[in-house]
Structure 1
Amino acid sequence: MAEPVTDTSLTVKDRHAAMHATLRQRICLLDYPPGTQLSEIALAKEFGTSRTPMRRVLARLEEEGLVQSVHGVGTLVTDADITELEQAYRLRVELTALTGQLDPVVPDDAFLDRLQDLINRAAQMVVSGTPRSFTELDMEVFQTLLDLTANDPLRQVLERLYYRTKRLWLVRAIKAELDLEEEYRIFLHELEAIQIALKSGDLQAVAHIQRAHISMSFNRLLQHRD
């Protein structure tokens, strides 16, 4: 589980963002499984803050569809149901293609070094990966590739859709409904293809590679629909 945010040097805005990111990660890694009740008081104490900013963080998570406020019960983590999230997943597939068209960012050497590190870790994943470690790596890859577009509205929508649907894969993996070794190999091949496209300067190709792999991943999930 991610460590709570305790760095007092952060600004108020940065602390709120860090708390949000930590809780979002816990939800996506199923540290907080669907149905878990999140205590505003307990979380505020854990993060060393008052209830008001924590209430705002939980409200943001609710807007993103990760939690739900139930009258008389409290704040509950929402379910990760593929039928309910199918439209969100399909929208994510289509919008991903736009990252190569709307305000694309040409990667510098530092970005390419980050990508190479992710590829090295993905290669190790094929040998000794777990569903949790793969999900953590996938989240890092998503945030890294998101930097290839400077279009803020597109970034915000893609981020929301990604984290709203991310749990679907992990739920299926834990239930042993997926060929994990094959999943890891496909992921590695995707990153290698993206690297080749970036080195050739073709950002639209990068976007289409991502779109294709997201679509294929979703179709594999649909094969195991309950």
Structure 2
Amino acid sequence: MTIADPDIATPSKVTVDEIQEQILERICFAHYPPGTQLKEAALAKEFGVSRTPVRDAIARIGHLGLVETRNGVGTVVIELSAERVRHLYEMRMELAQMIGTLSPITVTEYHRKEARSIYENAVALRERLDSQEYVKLNQRLQALITSLIGNHSLREFWNQAYFQSSSVWHRMEQIVGKIAYDALVQETFDLANALEREDIAAVGFLQRIYIGYAFQLIEKHLLNPQNKREL
């Protein structure tokens, strides 16, 4: 996405959705690590908009549990405690099981084509181990999974839990390297096959398996007191 120069008139402004997407990506990439202050004035100047859409975008991110407002400081990116990470992954595994049971949707050719494309990209990415592209492909996978959830409330909880956990898993990917890429290839392969069969229940089952696997790695490398790393 091209960010508008605030000094140059353009026919359309950057939207709240686009600002939110950019800030979320920076948090997920750890370009905005925990403790980073999100300054409305600076972001408004960067995106070439007034402070109102920036404020709205930050408020949305606040609802995802990624930032908080502190007295005398402003809005900052928060750090998840080990206990919160455990609770988050436990909840994600439970939510996954509901994907195929609460208001299941009809699988379309778009879903099948997108799953195949993500799998092919995952295979190619495994050969070059690019962290930023890895996060982007995971976000694309997340968007596909979300589009398969018919229940509105479940979809909201699913998205919130994903974004809260994404920065933790990004740091995990940097620790385990190729293991994370191999897991993504296998996950997207299994997902593509499930969608070819139009088996939404299997999608939820597979998500629970792979989220559980990710949690095992996080517990081993990030949460284990004998091998603890800063979250």
TM (norm. structure 1) is: 0.89
- Alignment of 1:199 onto 2:226: no
- Alignment of 1:86 onto 2:86: yes
Task: Return the offset for 1:158.
Answer: 0.5
Structure 2 unmatched ranges of 5 or more: none
Q: How does 1:97-116 map to 2 (within 5 A)?
A: 97-116=97-116
Distance 1:55 1:88, change over 3 A: same
Q: 2:212 aligns to what?
A: 215
The letter of the residue matching 2:20 is: H
Task: Return the offset for 1:84.
Answer: 2.5
Question: Which secondary structure does the structure 2 equivalent of 1:98 belong to?
Answer: coil
- Separation in structure 1 between the aligned mates of residue 81 and residue 132 of structure 2, nearest angstrom: 19
Task: Return the offset for 1:9.
Answer: 4.6
Equivalent residues of 1:41, 1:51 under 8 A apart: yes
- Alignment of 1:42 onto 2:42: yes
Question: Which secondary structure does the structure 1 equivalent of 2:69 belong to?
Answer: strand
**How many matched pairs?**
219
Q: Which runs of 4+ in 1 moved over 2 A?
A: 2-10, 80-85
Q: Percent identity?
A: 28
Distance 1:194 1:117, change over 3 A: same
Equivalent residues of 1:96, 1:211 under 8 A apart: yes
- Separation in structure 1 between the aligned mates of residue 211 and residue 172 of structure 2, nearest angstrom: 16
Q: What are the superposed Cα offsets for residues 49-108 of structure 1, whole Å, 9 maximum, x if unpaired? A: 222232222222222211121111121111144432221221111101111111222222
Distance 1:8 1:204, change over 3 A: farther
Distance 1:21 1:102, change over 3 A: same
Equivalent residues of 1:82, 1:168 under 8 A apart: no
Q: How does 1:122-201 map to 2 (within 5 A)?
A: 122-174=122-174, 176=175, 178=176, 180-201=177-198
TM (norm. structure 2) is: 0.87
Q: 1:65 aligns to what?
A: 65
Equivalent residues of 1:80, 1:167 under 8 A apart: no
Equivalent residues of 2:35, 2:79 under 8 A apart: yes
- Separation in structure 2 between the aligned mates of residue 173 and residue 212 of structure 1, nearest angstrom: 18
Task: Return the offset for 1:157.
Answer: 0.8
Q: What are the superposed Cα offsets for residues 158-213 of structure 1, whole Å, 9 maximum, x if unpaired? A: 00110011111112333x3x2x2122112111111112122122210111011111
- Separation in structure 2 between the aligned mates of residue 107 and residue 123 of structure 1, nearest angstrom: 23
Distance 1:8 1:142, change over 3 A: farther
Q: 2:30 aligns to what?
A: 30
Structure 1 unmatched ranges of 5 or more: none
Task: Return the offset for 1:3.
Answer: 4.8
The letter of the residue matching 1:165 is: S
